[in-house]
Amino acid sequence: MTTTLSPIDEIIAGVPTGLMIGGAVRPASDGSEFDVLDPATGRALARIASGTVEDALAAVDAAEAVAASWAATPPRRRSVILTKAFELMTEAADDLARLIVAENGKIFADARGEVVYAAEFLRWYAEEAVRIPGAIQTAPAGSNRILVTHHPVGIAVLVTPWNFPAAMATRKIGPALAAGCTVILKPASETPLTALAIAKIFERAGVPAGVVNVLPSKRSGAVVEAMVNDDRVRKLSFTGSTEVGVTLMQLAAKTVVNTSMELGGNAPFIVFDDADLDEAIAGAMIAKMRNGGEACTAANRFYVQEGVAAEFGRRLAARMSALVVGAGADSDSQLGPVINSGARDDIHALVRGAIDEGASILTGGETPSGEGYFYPATVLADVPATASILNHEIFGPVAPIVTFRTEEDAVRLANGTPFGLVSYVYTTDLARGLRVSEQLESGMVGLNRGIVSDPAAPFGGMKQSGIGREGGAEGLLEYLESQYIAVSW
């Protein structure tokens, strides 16, 4: 009897389910596997090999075997391969987006947008690969020349989260390959299929075996520790929570491994009385609801000046309550499920806590029954500035609104957390917009704009939101070591 596969099953059937090491797909050394779940139903989509410490070291062997030849590959050749990967990823965008929807839960439009964004990192770094900077200058004493060159930092371990399974991978792999590094990607165990599908794209684009290795594993701590403790690994690039980032910085300290840390956010979204409210509401919907609120850049705290706070709340609640909640694969859906039941419970606990502390619900706030991990778009008004929800990354479709009086209050409240990834400011007074932006302790500011992510710009945080930048010219430098040669004259 032949069975007909559904379109998504057909896509999944084309994705390797093993570890991708040295150009081969293999099972875990101890045969272990784990399930990948569909957040819209809670059901298993696939079983994936769960890498062991032995596998992790085999991946380092594979990355080492080709490290010198990849570093010596002419930048133009690396650029051509990255361009090809960009083209193949663009061609495969619909299928990749369906895969992201299946394992992450986000709506198709968000997944499709993510793939376009992810592919752009490959194009941008294809263009940067042939522009690796250098310098020559005269020493102040006149005795010699100072020659500065850049070299690939070496084997890089890349650890990525589940919320942008394609973009967080290419934002690291693009610059790493452009710089001449070989890599081992450890994707989040919630979303390994996208990473494995992308690795196949690199293979088809002509990336030599061993340059990009993928190690899915349920034993993240053990496998990452084994690789970072290996002297051959010289770079650890991590995107994820601040809590895990702190652990990994301590780990990297042992062998003085170069680290880049893209960590948690807690973005303030400031609306002044003089803002264009249509623009502010449109920006709020993007900053809050892109990816269903599961973004490190998600607006987490809305600070609205007293003259427009009530109207802003009303209008935001009207837009949020109109969103159609449903499985990401359903073309009508505008808000998909969150990643798992634990995440949903955490979000609901923050909402209940805010209500206990005095907030009122304008819309949402109830966990629906039925299958899947859905949570409604929720707006909370009159949130006290001290409410605990404002000190947590909500990572879900919840918008708490706090009212403020003066510009100084807005800046103080916005800067009042240990995080500093991104801030949003809405005002029609450009001087005020720039003055406030410069006072905000965040690596990025959206000024009258609800989205900042751009492969051409340096993405990253201040304070406990991280160290280092991804994207732009800065993103390439994270994978390069500077060397200076003093030349006698």
Residues designated as active site = 262
Piece of 87-95, 158-166, 173-181, 344-352 that binds ligand NAD (CB under 6 A): 158-166
85, 269, 323, 339 from 41: Cα distances, Å = 32, 33, 20, 11
Question: What does the alpha-carbon distance between residue 166 and residue 119 come to, in Å, rounded to a whole number?
Answer: 9
C-beta of 6: minimal distance to ligand NAD in Å?
27
Give the dihedral sign, CA 379/383/387/390: positive
Give the pair of three-digit tokens for residue 126. Answer: 């294809």
- Euclidean distance between CA atoms 91 and 118, whole angstroms: 13
Q: How many residues does the chain have?
A: 489
Least CB distance from residue 321 to ligand NAD, whole Å? 26
Sign of CA dihedral 183, 251, 223, 190: negative
Cβ(370)–Cβ(391) under 8 Å? Answer: no
- In angstroms, what is the minimal distance from the CB of 42 to ligand NAD? 18
CA distance 468 to 193: 27
- The neighbouring-strand residues paired with 137 are 146
Q: Under the criterion CB under 6 A, does residue 478 sit at the interface with ligand NAD?
A: no
User: Which of 264, 336, 400, 420 touches ligand NAD by CB under 6 A?
Assistant: 264
Q: Least separation, in Å, of the C-beta of 344 and ligand NAD?
A: 14
Nearer to ligand NAD, 103 or 262 (CB): 262
- What is the distance between the alpha carbons of residues 425 and 415, in angstroms, rounded to a whole number? 13
Q: How far is the CB of 326 from ligand NAD (least distance, A)?
A: 23
Q: How far from 25 is each of 73, 118, 323, CA to CA, in Å? A: 25, 24, 42
CB 437 within 8 A of CB 447: yes
Phi, psi of 213 (to 5 degrees): -115, 145
Query: Which position among 154, 175, 192, 240 is part of the footprint of ligand NAD (CB under 6 A)?
Result: 240
Q: Among residues 67 and 185, whose Cβ is nearest to ligand NAD?
A: 185
Stretch that binds ligand NAD, among 33-41, 125-133, 143-151, 263-271 (CB under 6 A): 263-271
Which range binds ligand NAD by CB under 6 A, 33-41, 155-163, 303-311, 403-411? 155-163
Tokens of 127: 């263009």
Q: How far is the CB of 443 from ligand NAD (least distance, A)?
A: 9
Binding of ligand NAD by 263 (CB under 6 A): yes
CA distance 424 to 452: 9
Q: Which of 182, 393, 404, 425 binds ligand NAD (CB under 6 A)?
A: 393
- Window contacting ligand NAD (CB under 6 A); options: 58-66, 99-107, 184-192, 372-380: 184-192
Residues 14-53 that bind ligand NAD (CB under 6 A): none
Q: Rule CB under 6 A: say whether 158 interacts with ligand NAD.
A: no
**Nearer Cβ to ligand NAD (326/461):** 461
Residues that bind ligand NAD (CB under 6 A): 159-164, 168, 186, 188-189, 220-221, 224, 239-241, 244, 247-248, 262-265, 296, 393, 421, 461, 466
